[in-house]
Amino acid sequence: MARRQERAEQTRSRVVHAAAEVVERDGVRDATLTRIVAVAGVSKGALYFHFDTKEQLADAVYEAGIARLGKVVAENYRWYRSALDTLALLSGALVRTLRRDVVARAMIRLARETDVSSRLSGDPHHQWWLLVYRLLVRARNQREVPSGMDLEAGAGLLVSATVGLEILARNNPAWWNEGSVERIWHMLLHVREQVVAVTGSSEEVLSEWRLPFETHSGSTLKSTARLD
């Protein structure tokens, strides 16, 4: 019984991964079930055992992609005191994941080309904007960005830049080069350096604005992001 359940889970995972590959290769409209089972190497009966419709399969791909990017956020968000360093490191990690993970890329495409995000866990672009905005609020409190900065507009600009990389990379994979996102965030970190130089900042200010889940075993890793 346990082995049968394991085989069923493996088949389901193969189908979801194959669906992501076909969505990325052919687009959502042309991602037919016939093409998906061919890539997965399973019968249509095996596919229908897990998914009644193409929409259900698309939902599974979307949820798998959301889970993968959510794991990246959890792994890269919690340890760093500096909000801008966290933002830079998190952005790099997300770009690496999108470059390597076809399920994550297919999720983004489904969000853009279908109504799946309105039916399930929300728009990933809006979720990214919220995360960037909250980190910019922390950055302002840490005196890393100008006090008068329009944080909503700043978050929109930074999200537009990262989403733009994903769109450009669909036609030219060279845009996935980490140097592209690094240049964006080096510019932002340079702003931080200039603000700190003018207003000053301190360990006391930074520690005051640490979030509860940023502490692990009583210690916090120091920032590793640097300017060239």
| Max CA separation in the chain (angstroms) | 67
Round to whole Å and give the CA distance between 19 and 7.
18
CA distance 92 to 75: 12
> What are 111's strand-pairing partners?
none
> Which CATH code, of 3.30.70, 1.10.3470, 1.10.150, 1.10.357, is assigned to 65-214?
1.10.357
Tell me how far apart the alpha carbons of residues 36 and 17 are, in angstroms, rounded to a whole number: 9
pLDDT: which is higher, 88 or 129 = 129
Q: What is the DSSP string of 143-183?
A: T-S-TT--HHHHHHHHHHHHHHHHHHHHH-GGGG-HHHHHH
Question: What pTM did the predictor assign?
Answer: 0.76
- Contact present, 220 and 126 (Cβ < 8 Å): no
Res. 224: pLDDT tops 50: no
Q: What is the pLDDT of residues 95-130, one digit of tens each?
A: 889 889 999 999 999 998 898 887 877 789 899 999
CATH topology for 1-52 is: Arc Repressor Mutant, subunit A (1.10.10)
Residue spans of the domains in the chain: they are: 1-52, 65-214
